[in-house]
Structure 1
Amino acid sequence: MASLGRRRGVPVNRERGVMAATECYIVHEIYNGENAQEQFEYELEQALEAQYRYIVIEPTRIGDETARWVAVGNCLHKTAVLAGAACLLTPLALPVEYSRYVALPAGALSLACATLYGISWQFDPCCKYQVEYDSQKLSRLPLHTLTSSTPVVLVRRDDVHRKRLHNTIALAALAYCAKKIYELYAV
C-alpha cells in the first residue's frame, strides 16, 4: 500500500527527443496483496485526474475496460455527427414528402446520442483520451519497462472541437425536427 498513488513515469531519451516524466504515467501490473485490482483502478484514476499526456495501462482487464469505454464514447460521438448530417442532408437528396421519414428519426438519434454523450462522458476525465495505435508514436514511450506484451496506451487529446461539432449538428438537427413536426401538426 505504500506505493499507492506513487508516480511511476519513466523519462525516455531517444533520437526524436526527450519525454519528460510528467508526460507519461505507467500503471504497472504488480500484484501486491488481495486488493490489486482496486489499486490499479486507483492509479488509473489518479493518472487521468493528473492529465498526463500518455497513460500506459499494463493490467489487461482494466486496459480492455478503458479501451471499450473510449470506443463507446467514440461511437456515440460519430453516431451523433453522422445521424445529424443525415437529418440535415436528407431533404436535399429526397423528395419533400419522403424526406421526413428519414430525417426525423435520424435527427432524434443524433440528439439522443449527443445527450447521452453529454450526460455520461462530459465530466469523465477519460473522455479526454484516445487509444493510441500508431507504432511510430508508441516507439517514443518507455514500453521496454513493461511486463505485459499488450498494454493499452491512452493519449490525451483536446476534445473541444469534437464536442462543439456534435453538439452543433445535434442542435441543428433538433431545430430542423422541431420545425418539421410543427409543420406536420400545424397544417
Structure 2
Amino acid sequence: MAKPEYLIIREVYDQSGDEEFEAELDHALEVESNTIVIEPLQLGLETARWISLGNFLHKTAVLCGLSTLAVSTRTDKLYIIIPLGCTSFVCAGVYLISWQPDPCCKYQVESDPTMMDRLPLHKLSSTSPIVLVRKDDTRRKILHNSLALMSFAICCWKVYSLYS
C-alpha cells in the first residue's frame, strides 16, 4: 500500500470528542503519510510542542557533544568537560528512550509558505492548521548518538587519566 501524500485531521465535533482526533493522528502517523494537516487547534499545539521538545533534546545533545570535543582539546578542566559531556549523553539517552520509538519524531512542523501553497487548504475549515511533514531522521540520530557517546568517552578518559 502506497503512503498517502497528505492526510487531514478535520475539526468536526460530534459525540466522540477529542479522543477521535488523537486516534486519527495516531492512524496518520502509523501509515507514514508524507504530510499531516491538523485542524483541531489543541491537538496541533500539543503535537507541535512535543516535536519542539524532541528537537530541543536533539540540539542540546549535539551542541554539548561538540562543545565537549572542542573544549577537551584545549583544556583538562573537568568542571567544564564533565557537565558538557554528561548533558550530551543524558539528552541523547532521554531522546532515545522517549522520542525515538514515537512515530511523531519522524515529523517536523512546517512553516514554509511555498509548502503550504501545494496543500489543499481550500478544503479546510480551520484558518490556522498545524502542518507536519515527514523527514528522514537517520543522519540526525546517528549524529547526536555518536557525539553523545564520544563526549561521554572523553569524560571517562579524562577522569581515568586524572586518577591513574
- Category of TM-score, reference length = shorter chain: over 0.9
How many Å separate the matches in 1 of 2:114 and 2:3?
19
How many Å separate the matches in 1 of 2:129 and 2:137?
23
Q: Secondary structure at the match of 2:122?
A: helix
Structure 2: unaligned runs, 5 residues or longer: none
TM-score, normalised relative to structure 2: 0.96
Choose which of 107, 112, 115 in structure 1 pairs with 2:85.
107
CA drift of 1:104 comes to: 1.0
What's the % identity of the aligned pairs? 51
Partner of 2:134: 156
Looking at both structures, which has the greater relative contact order when contacts are Cα pairs under 8 Å and sequence separation is at least 6? Answer: 2
Choose which of 137, 153, 156 in structure 2 pairs with 1:175.
153
The structure whose residues are more often helix, as a share, is 2
Letter in 1 for 2:22: E
Choose which of 34, 47, 65 in structure 2 pairs with 1:66.
47
Choose which of 99, 110, 123 in structure 2 pairs with 1:132.
110
Map 1:19-98 to 2 at 5 A. 22-33=4-15, 35-93=16-74, 95-96=75-76, 98=77
Structure 1: unaligned runs, 5 residues or longer: 1-19
> Does the 8 Å contact 2:38/2:129 carry over to 1?
yes
TM-score, normalised relative to structure 1: 0.84
How many Å separate the matches in 1 of 2:19 and 2:155?
46
CA drift of 1:21 comes to: 8.6
The structure number with the bigger radius of gyration is: 1
Give the number of aligned pairs.
Answer: 163
